[in-house]
Amino acid sequence: MKRRHFGVIALAAGAALALSACSSGAGGASGDSGSGPIKIGFSQVGAESGWRTANTKSLKEALASDNGFKLTFSDAQQKQENQISAIRSFITQGVDAIVFAPVVETGWDDVLKEAKDAEIPVILEDRSVDSDPSLYTSRVGDDFEKEGETAGKWVADNFAGKSANLVVLEGTTGSAAANDRTTGFNQAIKGTDVKVLDSQTGNFTRSEGKTVMEGFLQKYGKSINVLFAQNDDMGLGALDAIKAAGLTPGKDIQIVTIDGTKDGLTALADGQFNYVVECNPLLGDKVAEVVKAAVAGKKVDKLYLAKDEAFDQAAAEKALPTRPY
């Protein structure tokens, strides 16, 4: 597994938690005295995209028994109610720590308070929540706003002095990834001549990306010349719609996406996409490290951000042969 570097951000000195050993209550850490594996409950968003598949693989490999863990995995099928039920079940089981990728930003306060009352550390992986940071131990993820800004900067630079009629395939409504990418993108195009014709969620999936793009093409036709897809999968779904409309992706409609999966970089290498911003899904090693520190009562920082790159066609051709996901 290719180790990727992480930046550490302790949001505020006081926010960096020095955890007391979780030896009391339901969340007693069975792994802290070397008496057995660390029991982990992991609630994953779902299996909606190539990014998610890579992220799940990374977490499962890192939280494996040969690394000192006993993992209970739950796929929420992109439903918050399934995640809340899973977390409550983990609390009842008395796990030593909970890891979850929150499908949306809001609505977590009650269940996070229940985990805190049970003295079970909660580590967010991937997306963030709007709950008070005291309700979770740490987050390991990517800087979505920076990703959106990088994508927006590419559009602003490449269409400077030219007309850019842009449509946006947004990620899952209410998710931190969609919210923050939108914020960063809009900040980057502010004050430019880039015209946003429409913006609609494709829920991070290929099928919905295709359907929404079909709607955009019916409504705006050939006036569209730029697509910003907030993940590769929606962009890949949009390719089918663009070709079915008799247009050439990468030329008639230039496409910028976020994730940097093999399929996305392949579309970039063959000229169907024009620019891809990475969102590193290989978070498992850092999550495992943070969990071990937390259950051992060591100081844990509030936020660990993965380093992301961005790819043009030449960089994609170079990266593909050794791309780990």
Residues 146-185 that bind ligand GZL (CB under 6 A): 177
- Residue 49 or 225 having the CB closest to ligand GZL: 49
Residues 267-306 that bind ligand GZL (CB under 6 A): 279
Q: Which amino acid is at 22?
A: C
Q: Is 206 in the site for ligand GZL (CB under 6 A)?
A: no
d(CA 20, CA 25): 13
Nearest approach, Cβ of residue 285 and ligand GZL (Å): 16
226: which 2 tokens? 């730029």
Using an 8 Å Cβ cutoff, are 7 and 307 in contact? Answer: yes
Residues 104-133 that bind ligand GZL (CB under 6 A): 126-127
Rounded to the nearest 10 degrees, the angle between the axes of helix 232-244 and helix 262-269 is 40
Evaluate the CA torsion angle 88, 93, 96, 101 in order and state its sign.
negative
Stretch of 44-52, 79-87, 159-167, 206-214 contacting ligand GZL, by CB under 6 A? 44-52
Q: How many residues line the site for ligand GZL (CB under 6 A)?
A: 14
Stretch of 43-51, 182-190, 207-215, 301-309 contacting ligand GZL, by CB under 6 A? 43-51
Q: Tokens 């891809």 correspond to what residue?
A: 276
Nearest approach, Cβ of residue 144 and ligand GZL (Å): 7
d(CA 87, CA 84): 5
Using an 8 Å Cβ cutoff, are 169 and 177 in contact? Answer: no
227: which 2 tokens? 């697509």
- Residue 48 or 119 having the CB closest to ligand GZL: 48
Stretch of 35-43, 48-56, 159-167, 298-306 contacting ligand GZL, by CB under 6 A? 48-56
Residues 209-238 that bind ligand GZL (CB under 6 A): 231, 233
Nearest approach, Cβ of residue 192 and ligand GZL (Å): 24
67: which 2 tokens? 């690394």
Q: Is 48 in the site for ligand GZL (CB under 6 A)?
A: yes
Using an 8 Å Cβ cutoff, are 170 and 230 in contact? Answer: yes
Q: Is 204 in the site for ligand GZL (CB under 6 A)?
A: yes
Contacts of 151 (CB under 8 A, 6+ apart): 181, 184, 185, 188, 228, 256, 257, 258, 275, 277
Q: Is 39 in the site for ligand GZL (CB under 6 A)?
A: no
Q: Is 142 in the site for ligand GZL (CB under 6 A)?
A: yes
What is the per-residue DSSP string for 44-108? E--S-SHHHHHHHHHHHHHTSGGGTEEEEEEE-TT-HHHHHHHHHHHHHHT-SEEEE--SSSSS-
Q: What are the respective helix, strand and coil percentages of the chain, to the nearest 5?
A: 40, 20, 35
Nearest approach, Cβ of residue 259 and ligand GZL (Å): 5
Contacts of 246 (CB under 8 A, 6+ apart): none
209: which 2 tokens? 């990306």
Spell out, one character per residue from 55 to 94, where the chain touches ligand GZL: x when CB under 6 A holds, - when not.
----------------------------------------
Nearest approach, Cβ of residue 65 and ligand GZL (Å): 26
Per CB under 6 A, residues contacting ligand GZL are 48-49, 51-52, 126-127, 142, 177, 204, 231, 233, 258-259, 279
